């Protein structure tokens, strides 16, 4: 189906099911309950899940297949955002031109950066990409302020020309042929409330298309060549093949994925600022990919969801909420348990994420995907042993 093997098509269906039914999966606790704060089924966060999933999928095409570790991929995310917001200011609030321009400009910029950076490999390549990203951030923050808006960034304004939109005396909202990204409706089932947002589902469909393209790249001869580069680039060069065009193509494709993510961020919230180019944003996508599983298909999506959940939900658990959860314990035991747990949540969520990252590096080099594979193998062995015993 769709040119995919059975295993890959099944994986695509699983990802599609997870994204389409995310409002249900991410709201497991009823409204008003003590655990309702752990729900992540609100539109803004779900949009971040899929958008950063696209960002991580693209980064994995470069890092997972070729082994080239970029520390500056946030530059393409920011460039895509700026290109998209300018389309909304000059042409229309329809998100199609914004997304297309974000992908194109990010692709051109990544071509320039990749052409220079790929002259080196290893840590030198990583430092070069980091330097380009920081230069881009500095330019956006202070030098190119007429284009980028400087520290405050750019957003859609009433006096923008928007030559393809009829003048209504209003700024208008980001839309897809009249369907506003912010439009949503709620479904109440007993004590549960589920929100379905148009912007999320549009971003989710784009993420599924991006995921499908990534599968085709992974299974193609081009993807096999990228794996050969990762395995032993020197030996590959000795065979007479020039590996640089392949690595540059992977770099540009990865940059276009980042531009797509940047354009979608503007489509959901018409605002672009230099903070999207900071080195911390580049480091975040590296963490997403490693936590999920470098070189795997679904791993980056899982890693992106995990980090964004920690950033937006886990970080909001406070001391008072912990006391509510452990109120059934005796007073002394309650205070002790809260004192032990509190440093790892709320403002200390980075500590928990850091410990989790260390555990993955040491015990699960394949990330969350490897964890799932180990659990699956263990369950299959257990069921096989049970069947053997029953036959005896």
The pLDDT, as a whole number, for residue 298 is: 93
In the predicted structure, residue 28 carries a pLDDT above the cut 70: yes
Domains of the chain: 6-295 (1.10.3470)
pLDDT of residue 168: 64
Q: pLDDT at position 260, please? A: 97
Q: What is the mean pLDDT of residues 34-43?
A: 86
Average pLDDT (356-374) is 90
Look up the pTM and report it: 0.94
Q: Measured between alpha carbons, how far is 56 from 250 in angstroms, rounded to an integer?
A: 14
Say yes or no to pLDDT of 215 above 70: yes
Q: Across residues 287-294, what is the average pLDDT?
A: 93
Predicted pLDDT at 391: 62
User: What was the pLDDT predicted at 317?
Assistant: 86
> For residue 234, what pLDDT is reported?
86
């Amino acid at each position: 189906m769709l040119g995919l093997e059975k295993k890959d098509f099944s994986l695509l269906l699983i990802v599609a099911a997870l994204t389409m039914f995310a409002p249900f999966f991410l709201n497991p606790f009823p409204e008003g309950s003590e655990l309702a704060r752990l729900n992540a089924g609100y539109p803004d966060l779900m949009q971040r899940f899929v958008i950063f999933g696209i960002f991580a999928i693209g980064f994995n095409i470069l890092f997972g297949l070729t082994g080239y570790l970029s520390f500056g991929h946030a530059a393409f995310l920011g460039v895509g955002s700026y290109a998209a917001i300018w389309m909304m200011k000059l042409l229309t609030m329809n998100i199609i031109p914004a997304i297309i321009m974000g992908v194109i400009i990010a692709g051109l910029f990544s071509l320039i950066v990749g052409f220079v950076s790929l002259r080196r490999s290893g840590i030198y390549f990583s430092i070069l990409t980091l330097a380009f990203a920081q230069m881009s951030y500095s330019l956006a923050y202070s030098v190119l302020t007429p284009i980028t808006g400087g520290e405050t960034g750019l957003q859609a304004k009433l006096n923008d020309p928007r030559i393809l939109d009829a003048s209504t005396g209003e700024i208008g909202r980001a839309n897809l042929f009249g369907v506003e990204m912010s439009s949503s409706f709620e479904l109440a089932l007993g004590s549960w409330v589920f929100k379905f947002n148009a912007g999320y589902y549009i971003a989710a469909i784009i993420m599924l298309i991006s995921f499908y393209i990534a599968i085709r790249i992974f299974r193609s001869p081009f993807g096999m060549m990228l794996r050969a580069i990762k395995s032993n680039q020197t030996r590959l060069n000795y065979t007479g093949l020039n590996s640089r065009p392949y690595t540059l193509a992977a770099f540009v494709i990865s940059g276009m994925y980042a531009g797509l993510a940047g354009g979608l961020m503007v489509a959901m919230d018409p605002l672009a600022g230099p903070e999207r180019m900071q080195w911390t944003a580049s480091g975040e996508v590296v963490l997403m990919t490693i936590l999920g599983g470098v070189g795997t298909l679904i791993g980056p999506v899982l890693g992106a969801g995990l980090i964004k959940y920690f950033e937006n939900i886990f970080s909001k658990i406070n001391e008072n909420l912990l006391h509510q959860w452990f109120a059934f314990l005796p007073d002394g035991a309650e205070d002790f348990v809260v004192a032990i747990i509190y440093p790892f949540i709320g403002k200390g969520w980075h500590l928990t994420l850091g410990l989790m990252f260390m555990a993955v590096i040491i015990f699960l080099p394949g990330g969350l995907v490897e964890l799932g594979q180990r659990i699956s193998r263990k369950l299959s062995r257990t069921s096989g042993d049970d069947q053997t015993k029953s036959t005896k």
